[in-house]
Chain A
Amino acid sequence: MKNGQFFRPTVSIGLLATVLVALPFVAALGGQAWVRILDFAILYAFLALGLNIVVGLAGLLDLGYIAFYAVGAYTWALLASPHFGLHWPIWAILPLGAGLACFAGVLLGSPTLKLRGDYLAIVTLGFGEIVRIFMNNLNAPINITNGPQGITLIDPVSFGAFKFSGTTQIFGLSLSGPQKYYFLLVALAILVIIVNLRLQNSRIGRAWQAIREDEIAAKAVGINTRNLKLLAFAMGASFGGIAGGIFSAMQGFVSPESFSLIESIMILAMVVLGGMGHIPGVILGAVLLTVLPEVLRYGVGPLQMALFGKMLVDPESLRMLVFGLALVLVMRFKPAGLWPSPERKRELQEAAP
């Protein structure tokens, strides 16, 4: 039963795998910048799927998710850069980053247990900002985070002698840094997809759904809502922490600027736009929201030049304009998201007769 549900026929798996493998090489034809954009698309898909555990499965509106990403990123940055002269290996930092983010998740979760909906959103939003401001100001009296300047020269991901930065030759293929990160990120994304899928159809997943539906009834049937909500926060946060660590290593540079409120909102938008609680939808949302703005950025300028012979609108502002319009349109015409789960679609159709 499970097999039929989780794995489509071998053919489509094979096709999907081929596309996933070929993608970075196709993107490289347009320049390494596109491979990097692809990397970020998958990194955001990973983040969005982590947030999906909190928002989609447990129904807790979290607007400060980026804080956990920041915790993971700074953990990596501080422990693998010349800033403190530490160069810990990945197997030590990544779990530590996930653990610290998890701790931050519980820290945020425990005082907000009784809050729901809007109120929870406000508190989590505040939490996200607090973390960012901390990173911004922890350069005095003791310089921990190097403040707004951020931390530079962060070690790339490496397993022993195999480094993810620079170009490597494998089996006669020349793999660039971004291409190597691409494969690492795909592997991580597959991991988080499996976790999402398996949780969704488990005892824990059902309990989360029950809490989302009716918290009082959930308590009455013996669900410890406090522990389960904390679990959701902790799990979502851990994935945020892992994503942060990879981000840090990939960029080689972190600063508080990367963890602003707009980032949290973007990730939430990916989840909501794609289809809350539906894994393919969330991935679609993440990929679209990462790639589309870039396409607009690279496409709009030359297009204007070709059409009007001059720049009428600054591509950067047009990008946000189109982006905002797209969000409004999707929410108006596809309120359940672009690719909602069948159940969610049914719910909304039935709700609006």
Chain B
Amino acid sequence: MSEVLLEAKAVAKHFGGVKALRDVSLSIRRGEIYGLIGPNGAGKTTFFNCMTGLYVPDGGGFSFSGTPLVADAPHQAAERGIARTFQNIRLFGNMTALENVMVGRHVRTKAGVLGAMFQNAATRAEEAAIRQRAIDLLHYVRIEDRADDLAKNLSYGDQRRLEIARALATEPQLLCLDEPAAGMNATETAELRELIDGIRRDGTTVLLIEHDVKLVMGLCDRVAVLDYGALVIEDVPAVVQKDQRVIEAYLGA
């Protein structure tokens, strides 16, 4: 359980004069739920984007299950086993829920143009497997009855779930959730908590960015706190909660 899955080494990123990340180093262990919290603008999403290849860090780097992570290719991050959701949900709005999840299977399947044109046995089998896996995943996040609806017509909570299903379709080792509980009511948050817990139990490591401190403290095995782009503390929730610097960061000194 204590093997390191993802390690960030002195990751730095600045936008013009704004230092969004100042040498952030942290490590996520296989099988845990790791929380990343901090006030607005602390650099949480920037960290996410650097990790998943959307941004190229200005310093430092990541290693994933022992080997360095290429910094500038998002599709390679997914291939290596890092899947993510977005703070402002990014679904393929005009595709059905099922198709959204099927797209998630892209990186683990390989039918090409010729396969599509000639519809050979292997391609048809693969296509059937993609569909089946997508249906299973919709069941897993409990939105199977919305399978044929356009993603943009799903309720907010269902869209969040669909995004998680799509991310899971890539068979990630590390699932990164960017504020999944934002805008959810208490019931939905409780259900989400159950879902995330289940994902971890099924063997996927989870990195969670969240504002809802209660959710993070209740769910995460370890928590890191960012403030002004710098790492304040990385420890178990009980310790983090009592840390004076964290309280200051949140309440203002």
Residues of A within 8 A of B (CB): 2, 194-195, 198-199, 202-207, 209-210, 213-214, 216-225, 231, 235, 343, 346-347, 350
Contact = CB atoms under 8 A, between A and B. Distances in A.
B180 to A, nearest CB: 15
Contact of A204 (B77, B102, B111): B111
B104 interface: yes
Chief secondary structure at chain A's binding surface: helix
B107 A221 contact: yes
B78 A220 contact: yes
Given A216-B90, A219-B54, A206 B116 contact: no
Chief secondary structure at chain B's binding surface: helix
A223 B94 contact: no
A205 B116 contact: yes
A136 B104 CA distance: 47
A218 B103 contact: yes
22 contacts: A2-B119, A202-B111, A203-B126, A209-B95, A210-B103, A213-B95, A214-B90, A216-B54, A217-B86, A217-B92, A218-B103, A220-B83, A220-B86, A220-B90, A221-B78, A221-B83, A221-B104, A221-B107, A221-B166, A221-B167, A222-B77, A347-B150
B74 A219 contact: yes
Contacts of B99: 206, 209
B251 to A, nearest CB: 34
Given A213-B92, A213-B94, A216-B90, A223 B106 contact: yes
Interface in B81-129: 83-84, 86, 90-95, 99, 102-107, 109, 111-113, 115-117, 119, 123, 126-127
B142 interface: no
Contacts of A347: 94, 150
Given A203-B109, A216-B90, A222 B117 contact: no
B197 interface: no
A195 B46 CA distance: 42
A142 B147 CA distance: 62
Contacts, number: 109
Interface residues of B, number: 43
A217 B49 CA distance: 12
Given A203-B109, A217-B86, A223 B91 contact: no
B205 interface: no
Contacts of A214: 90-93
Contact of B52 (A209, A213, A220): A220
Contacts of A217: 86, 90-92
Contacts of B40: none
B173 interface: no
A350 B79 contact: no
B159 interface: no
A222 B150 contact: no
Given A206-B103, A223-B103, A346 B150 contact: yes
A224 B74 CA distance: 8
A336 B83 CA distance: 35
Contact of B113 (A220, A223, A231, A350): A231
B204 interface: no
Contacts of B91: 213-214, 217
B241 interface: no
Question: Which 6 residue pairs are nearest across A and B when measured between Cβ atoms?
Answer: A222-B107, A222-B78, A202-B116, A219-B74, A213-B92, A217-B90
B103 A199 contact: no
Interface in B148-195: 150, 152-153, 166-167, 169-170
Contacts of B170: 221-222
A346 B75 CA distance: 31
Contacts of B106: 203, 206-207, 210, 221-223
A198 B116 contact: yes
Given A202-B127, A203-B130, A205-B116, A222 B75 contact: yes
Contacts of B116: 198-199, 202-205
Given A220-B78, A221-B103, A343-B150, 9 more contacts: A203-B111, A206-B103, A209-B95, A210-B103, A213-B93, A216-B90, A220-B74, A220-B90, A223-B103
A294 B77 CA distance: 55
A219 B83 CA distance: 10
